[in-house]
């Protein structure tokens, strides 16, 4: 009798040899593919700008040998006849390994995505790292919760009541910490959408300052007067934010008034004077100057120009130079600046006639005086 035809656990030994051979060859092929293919795909990913090769390299790198071994054993098991409970247990064990492997892949893909985002946004600081870490924790918690529930269901445990309990508990927790969750998601929105970054000078409603810190719950600004302004992230995103740091240039509107006694020909020459003065500044370019209106105590001109820098100090330096030049030019031309004045004209032609004290109606006339 051929030894290969002998029975072992209800199967000929020949089938067991085939099953073990298939499992061994499968594991060897998968291991070689992982070990040799991983570095090649990673090298291709470093040279390419596409995303699919990065994903493929991360998936290969995160694949575990234990998962490959269980898959190989399951493949080899189909060449022999196994008892129903044994095959079912092997399938469930392989499915559990697959679920765990999927969770590992998802974690790896999240890390790969986070690294790519941070490379694209090199200005991200520690605050962004904290937000990404918190978001990653939430992603991993969700993934592993799903894996545990699917694993329990795979082993025949009814999870309907458990899922319902988790749903009710999750709603209760969400209601209890809704403000914290709102600020957390607000932090994620700030980090991902980038309405501002650390170092930007922003104005929020009537408050303004330089961004110092973007945290999981609050964002902190340092005002010009020195105090720290603290905003909840959720409230900050509901406000109108003006980011002065992202101005390419600053538009400036300023007015000046001259006295009523200024001759019309000099009034007509003032816009040209303003244009010459502004165009003489290297960091400014002229837009317009107009005799805008006749004010209560002055003839008002409106002037508009652009400073080729968003820096506030540069703007103030340019404006100061323009103001000094305007004062010198007006003095040379004999043009006077206006200031609030009020003229009172007294008309004595309508005064009542004087009364003679000897008149009978003198005393009564006093009472009739207007």
CATH number of the domain that residue 289 is part of:
3.30.70.100
Q: Cα–Cα distance between 28 and 74 in angstroms, integer?
A: 14
Average pLDDT over residues 222-243: 87
- Taking only the tens place, the pLDDT of each residue in 186-223 is 777 787 777 888 888 889 888 889 988 888 788 899 98
Q: With respect to residue 74, please indicate whether it lies within any of the assigned structural domains.
A: yes
Note whether 28 and 155 are same-domain residues: yes
Q: With respect to residue 338, please indicate whether it lies within any of the assigned structural domains.
A: no
pLDDT of residue 305: 96
Note whether 143 and 259 are same-domain residues: no
Note whether 161 and 278 are same-domain residues: no
pLDDT of residue 353: 59
Domains held by the chain: number: 3
pTM > 0.85: no
Q: With respect to residue 342, please indicate whether it lies within any of the assigned structural domains.
A: no
Note whether 228 and 275 are same-domain residues: no
CATH code of the domain covering residue 216: 2.30.30.60
Whether the per-residue pLDDT at 166 is higher than 80: the answer is no
- Taking only the tens place, the pLDDT of each residue in 83-120 is 878 888 888 888 888 888 888 888 888 777 777 766 66
Domain holding 260, by residue range, is: 250-333
Q: Residue 124 CB: number of other CB atoms within 10 A?
A: 19
Q: Cα–Cα distance between 146 and 152 in angstroms, integer?
A: 10
Higher pLDDT, 307 or 178: 307
Average pLDDT over residues 357-368: 46
Nearest partner of 59 among 4, 29, 102, judged by Cα: 102
Note whether 15 and 151 are same-domain residues: yes
Note whether 126 and 23 are same-domain residues: yes
Average pLDDT of the chain to the nearest whole number? 80
* Dihedral sign from CA coordinates of 225, 231, 233, 239: negative
């Amino acid at each position: 009798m051929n030894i290969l035809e002998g029975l072992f656990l209800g199967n000929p030994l020949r089938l067991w040899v085939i099953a073990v051979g298939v499992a061994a060859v499968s594991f060897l092929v998968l291991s070689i593919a992982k070990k040799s293919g991983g570095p090649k795909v990673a090298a291709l990913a470093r040279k390419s700008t596409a995303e699919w090769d990065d994903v493929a390299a991360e998936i290969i790198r995160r694949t575990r040998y234990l998962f490959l071994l269980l898959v190989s054993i399951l493949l080899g098991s189909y060449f022999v006849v196994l008892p129903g409970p044994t095959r079912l247990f092997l399938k469930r064990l392989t499915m559990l390994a697959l679920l765990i492997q999927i969770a590992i892949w998802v974690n790896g893909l999240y890390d790969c995505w986070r690294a790519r985002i941070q490379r694209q946004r090199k200005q991200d600081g520690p605050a962004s790292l904290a937000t990404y870490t918190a978001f990653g924790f939430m992603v991993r918690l969700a993934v592993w919760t799903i894996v545990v529930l699917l694993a329990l269901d795979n082993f025949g445990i009814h999870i309907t009541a458990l899922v319902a309990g988790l749903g009710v508990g999750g709603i209760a927790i969400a209601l209890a910490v809704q403000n914290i969750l709102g600020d957390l998601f607000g932090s994620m929105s700030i980090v991902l959408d980038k309405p501002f970054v650390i170092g930007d000078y922003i104005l929020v409603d009537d408050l303004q300052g330089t961004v110092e810190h973007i945290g999981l719950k609050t964002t902190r600004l340092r005002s010009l007067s020195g105090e720290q302004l603290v905003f909840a992230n959720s409230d900050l995103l509901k406000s109108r934010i003006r980011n002065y740091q992202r101005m390419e240039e600053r538009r400036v509107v300023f007015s000046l008034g001259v006295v009523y006694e200024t001759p019309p020909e000099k009034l007509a020459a003032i816009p040209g004077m303003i244009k010459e003065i502004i165009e003489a500044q290297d960091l400014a370019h002229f837009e317009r100057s107009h005799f805008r209106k006749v004010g209560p105590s002055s003839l008002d001109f409106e002037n508009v120009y652009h400073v080729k820098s968003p820096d506030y100090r540069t703007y103030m330096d340019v404006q100061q130079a323009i103001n000094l030049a305007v004062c010198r030019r007006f003095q040379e031309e004999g043009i006077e600046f206006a200031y609030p004045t009020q003229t009172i004209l007294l008309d004595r032609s309508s005064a009542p006639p004087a009364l003679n004290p000897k008149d009978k109606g003198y005393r009564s006339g006093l009472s009739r005086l207007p």
